[in-house]
Structure 1
Amino acid sequence: MAHDTSAVITSHVEAAPVRVWFALTDAEALTAWYWPASMHPRAYSEPVVGGRFGVDAGDMGFAGEYRELDPPRRLVQSWRWAGDDRDSRVTIELAPSGAGTDLRIVHDRVDEETAEMYRAGWESCLTRLPAYLAATPSAESR
């Protein structure tokens, strides 16, 4: 099984990069938008190089380690889905675009089938991000 395929996802949200960065790295924020609230997700996040993060929603979950952090522009993290036996890698780049932010997510070091699954998963998660950002205009100032 080759592990050299990438899922590439692009998105735009109407929020400044610093707010999107917060949503991607704060445990409480991840619990609010990553999976539907009905799944009662739990999260943890220590956004420092070498820090751990993860989201658990019962039968589903993932965890990893922050490898690179360049707030609010780029983060690289290892990623392991619950039950997997190896890590993949996620690189998220944020770029200001008008009053909002363009996101580019590359989830790599996976096979083609897993890349398709991750692409669909990221796209699903990202549909909830704008509502979270709209509902929490000053979340990063906490």
Structure 2
Amino acid sequence: MAYDRSAVIKSRVSAPPERVWFALTDAGALTAWYWPASMNPRAFSEPVVGGRFGVDAGEMGFAGEYRELDPPRRLVQSWRWAGDDRDSRVTIELTPSGDGTELLIVHDELDEETAEMYRAGWESCLTRLPAYLAASTPRAESR
């Protein structure tokens, strides 16, 4: 099986890159927006190179390792869906855009079928990100 496919997702949110970065790397933030609250997700995140992260919602979950961190611009991480036997890679680029942030997510090292499923998954979870960013306060996100 060839693992040469990518899922590429572009999105824009009305929040500065620093707030989006926090939403992508803080365990509490991931719990708040990544999956619906009805799934009762749990998350962990240690945003340092070599640190681990993951979200678990019972029968669904993923985990990985931070490979590259350039706050608040670029994030590269390994990614493994629960039950999979190999890692893939996620690269997220954050670019300031007016009063918001452009996100470019490239999830690669995938086969064709998995790339399509992950593209749909990223698009689904990103629909919850703007509401999280609108409801959260910058003070609560300072580190």
CA RMSD, 1 decimal: 0.7
Q: Name the aligned partner's letter for residue 54 of structure 2.
A: G
Q: Which runs of 4+ in 1 moved over 3 A?
A: none
Aligned counterpart, 2:142: 141
Identity %: 86
Counterparts of 1:134 and 1:141 in 2: how far apart (Å)?
16
Counterparts of 1:141 and 1:97 in 2: how far apart (Å)?
21
Structure 2: gaps (5+ residues)? none
Q: 1:95 Cα shift?
A: 0.1
List aligned pairs for 1:1-142, cutoff 5 A: 1-138=1-138, 139-141=140-142
Q: How many matched pairs? A: 142
Q: 1:137 Cα shift?
A: 2.3
Counterparts of 1:98 and 1:49 in 2: how far apart (Å)?
30
TM-score relative to the length of structure 1: 0.99
Q: 1:141 Cα shift?
A: 2.0
Counterparts of 1:137 and 1:124 in 2: how far apart (Å)?
23
TM-score relative to the length of structure 2: 0.98
Q: 1:66 Cα shift?
A: 0.0
Structure 1: gaps (5+ residues)? none
Q: 1:140 Cα shift?
A: 1.4
Counterparts of 2:59 and 2:47 in 1: how far apart (Å)?
25
